[in-house]
Amino acid sequence: MDIMAVVDKMLAGDQAMLAKVITRIEREDGVVPEIMKRIYPRAGKAYTIGVTGPPGGGKSTLVDKLVSLLRQKDFTVGVVAVDPTSPFSGGAILGDRIRMQRHYLDEGVFIRSMASRGSFGGLAMATKDVVTALDAFGKDFVIVETVGVGQTELDIINRVDTTLVILIPGAGDAIQTMKAGLMEIADIFVVNKADQPGTENTINDLESMLSLHPAASGWDVPVISTQAHNNIGIEDLFQQIERHRTFLTERGQLNARREQRRKNDFLMAIQDRAKRQLQKHIERDGELSAIMERVARGELDPHSGAIEVFNTLGLLNE
């Protein structure tokens, strides 16, 4: 079937076609811009939630329980779980994603794991496009969960409306949270596994850090506790998400955030396109691959090599 026919069936509500479209986006093949152009006018209605934090915090379980709650409230949900894996193997390690298969029989939920298959990004771009697809399909909420805590993951999480940072009691002190760059991206702090010792201390530490570094937006970042594995605190979490959504909407910040995001997406798309086109040229063009070989042998430094490529192609080089 022609991919555009698949896209149209997806937009008509066929979830199997949604899966096919997402697979094409993940493969990052040449048809992606055309797909995105078709689905873009239908996107923009979903509310997006990011879930991040150090490994071992119980993020998957928390997302699982949040999905169940949203379904009870009759919202439809998309989940994108971003698993950074080795740049060498390219294999996704699904791990506890299996637990979420309980939702697979529920047509109101769509879950996809995304893995990074190499360096030089691409993952942030593909994740963004998958979120747009879930949004255009009509999901009320789209949850983006990241496993790693790094720059690419921050880029991904930056694209949501409300960001949850999940920590556990005592697991690394507040400084670790700051070091991982999580302090300023959190709209809501969640201390999960709150049946473990040290919960109160961790909450107090976070609250005193927040009183020293209040959010620039004027939003009062809440610190809540959950026990996702016991399904405790999830309703409270949902209420806080709704409270944040209301705050953003009433202040006009939701639109402002989304405009800024689109600009970033645009710059990312340009960068992505430039990289692909140039790589394609290097593969085909003897002169360009000769430059690469000189760089590989160490005869030419990478920056000078890049300048030579730009000169050879007659590109903007100033």
83-142 residues near its own copies, rule: CB under 8 A = 83-89, 93, 95-96, 116, 119-121, 123-124, 132
Cβ closest to its own copies, residue 149 vs residue 203: 149
Of 16-24, 64-72, 223-231, 277-285, the window that binds its own copies (rule: CB under 8 A) is: 277-285
Considering the complex, what minimum distance in angstroms separates the CB of residue 44 from its own copies? 6
Cβ closest to its own copies, residue 1 vs residue 302: 302
Do residues 199 and 192 lie in contact, with contact meaning Cβ atoms separated by under 8 Å? no
Cβ closest to its own copies, residue 3 vs residue 282: 282
Cβ closest to its own copies, residue 70 vs residue 161: 161
What's the rounded Cα separation, in Å, for the pair 43 and 204? Answer: 40
Please list, in sequence order, all residues whose beta carbon lies within 8 angstroms of the beta carbon of residue 203, skipping any fewer than 6 positions away.
Answer: 191, 223, 225
Cβ closest to its own copies, residue 96 vs residue 200: 96
Q: Which of 14, 68, 106, 172 binds its own copies (CB under 8 A)?
A: 172
Residue found under tokens 């026990």: 227
Token pair for 7: 């896209």
Considering the complex, what minimum distance in angstroms separates the CB of residue 138 from its own copies? 17
Question: Is 277 an interacting residue with respect to its own copies (CB under 8 A)?
Answer: yes
Question: Is 214 an interacting residue with respect to its own copies (CB under 8 A)?
Answer: no
Do residues 129 and 269 lie in contact, with contact meaning Cβ atoms separated by under 8 Å? no
Q: Which of 29, 204, 301, 311 binds its own copies (CB under 8 A)?
A: 301
The pattern of x and - marking residues 177 through 206 that bind its own copies according to CB under 8 A reads -xxxx-xxx---------------------
In the window 225-264, what residues touch its own copies (CB under 8 A)? 258-260, 262-264
6-13's contacts with Cβ under 8 Å and 24+ in sequence apart are 7/35, 7/38, 7/39, 8/38, 10/39, 10/133, 10/137, 11/38, 11/39, 11/42, 11/136, 11/137, 13/137, 13/138
Q: Which of 176, 230, 239, 246 binds its own copies (CB under 8 A)?
A: 176
The pattern of x and - marking residues 13 through 52 that bind its own copies according to CB under 8 A reads -------------------xx--xx--x---x--------
Number of residues lying near its own copies (CB under 8 A): 91
Considering the complex, what minimum distance in angstroms separates the CB of residue 49 from its own copies? 19
What's the rounded Cα separation, in Å, for the pair 122 and 271? Answer: 10
Torsion angles phi and psi, residue 142, rounded to 5: -120, 125
Longest dimension (CA), the chain: 64
Please list, in sequence order, all residues whose beta carbon lies within 8 angstroms of the beta carbon of residue 195, skipping any fewer than 6 positions away.
Answer: 227, 230
Question: Is 164 an interacting residue with respect to its own copies (CB under 8 A)?
Answer: no
Token pair for 58: 């119980």
Cβ closest to its own copies, residue 21 vs residue 70: 21
Considering the complex, what minimum distance in angstroms separates the CB of residue 244 from its own copies? 17
Please list, in sequence order, all residues whose beta carbon lies within 8 angstroms of the beta carbon of residue 170, skipping any fewer than 6 positions away.
Answer: 196, 197, 198, 201, 202
Region for residue 48 given its phi and psi (left: phi exceeds 0; alpha: psi -120 to 50; beta: otherwise): beta
Question: Is 150 an interacting residue with respect to its own copies (CB under 8 A)?
Answer: yes
Cβ closest to its own copies, residue 220 vs residue 283: 283
Cβ closest to its own copies, residue 74 vs residue 318: 318
Distances from the Cα of 215 to the Cα of 17, 131, 168, angstroms: 41, 26, 22
